[in-house]
Amino acid sequence: MENGRIKTHIKGFDEHLDGGIPEHHLVLLCGPPGTMKTTIAYNMLFQGAKEDDLNGTFFSLEQGRESLHRQMSGLGMNPDAVDDRLSIVDFGLIRRNLEKMGGRNWMDIFKMYAENLKKNTEYDLLVIDSLPVLEILSSFTKPREDLFYLFEWLRELDATVIIVSEIEPDAKSFGTHGEDFISDGIIHTKMERVNDENIQRRIRCVKMRGTAHSTDYFTLLVEKGLLQVARVISK
């Protein structure tokens, strides 16, 4: 961590974020399927642990731990290399065990794990993947109000929080229940058709409180475990 900021560790992107995400911000990482949201979020944890000695926690609400392990290892980011600083929590497994026991309030379980891991590992960075699944599991009755209180509770964890969220490719906003307004930052990913043969992944910072950042889209590239951006040269 430098100057109170958490790096995305996307080469060329942090320079456009004034060095990274301000510490203790709550940031939405949103986009349609296939735009590498999970990889971007995990990359922050992995490289943060490896390069910056940050403690991190990844809450996976839909993808199993073994599947995530294989996926990230295939990208050159083996979780075992940083297991002293990176915790992966498979909430799918926890959910199945809860169902066998008759179940408890899901949000209470979620908060218990977040608080206990904070005490035990003192994580600097928490990733939640993903918000739509959390909403479904928690059976929000008043989504806008429930999300407001959830976000306020997350801020009290004294950590930087990245929340992965799915939106439709043609969505007119970055949230369905006002989460785009109450978050401290928004990073948007998308697919852009360049021509009949090529489609590019693109990324931009929509907002980041307390940061002089670019709002331009950049082409997102991945090669041998390295995430980097390049200027968009084809519209």
Tokens of 147: 């999300």
Residue 138 φ then ψ, to 5°: -85, -10
Long-range contacts from 152-158, C-beta under 8 angstroms, 24+ separation: 153/111, 154/26, 154/114, 154/126, 155/24, 155/26, 157/114, 157/115, 157/118, 157/126, 158/24, 158/118
Fold of 5-9+20-188: Rossmann fold (3.40.50)
pLDDT at 97: 81
pLDDT at 163: 99
Q: What pLDDT does 191 receive?
A: 97
Our measurement of the distance from residue 71's CA atom to the centroid of its chain's CA atoms, rounded to an integer in Å, reads: 16
> How many whole angstroms separate alpha carbon 221 and alpha carbon 101?
44
pLDDT of the chain, 235 residues: tens digit per residue: 778 999 999 999 999 999 999 999 999 999 999 999 999 999 999 999 999 999 999 999 999 999 999 999 999 999 999 999 999 999 989 888 877 656 568 899 999 999 999 999 999 999 999 999 999 989 899 999 999 999 999 999 999 999 999 999 999 999 999 999 999 999 999 999 998 889 999 999 999 999 999 999 999 999 878 999 999 975 5
CA geometry: angle 48, 53, 54, nearest 5 deg: 55
Q: Verify cis geometry, omega within 30 degrees of 0, for the bond prior to 130.
A: yes
pLDDT computed for residue 230 by the predictor: 97
Q: What is the pLDDT of residue 226?
A: 93
| Domain coordinates in residue numbering, the chain | 5-9+20-188
- What would the 3-class secondary structure string for the chain be? CECCEECCCCECCHHHHCCCEECCCEEEEEECCCCCHHHHHHHHHHHHHHHHCCCEEEEECCCCHHHHHHHHHHCCCCHHHHCCCEEEEEHHHHHHHHHHCCCCCHHHHHHHHHHHHHHHHCCCEEEEECHHHHHHHHCCCCHHHHHHHHHHHHHCCCCEEEEEEECCCCCCCCCCCCHHHHCCEEEEEEEEECCCCCEEEEEEEEEECCCCCCCCCEEEEEECCEEEEEECCCC
The span from the CA of 4 to the CA of 38, in Å, is 24
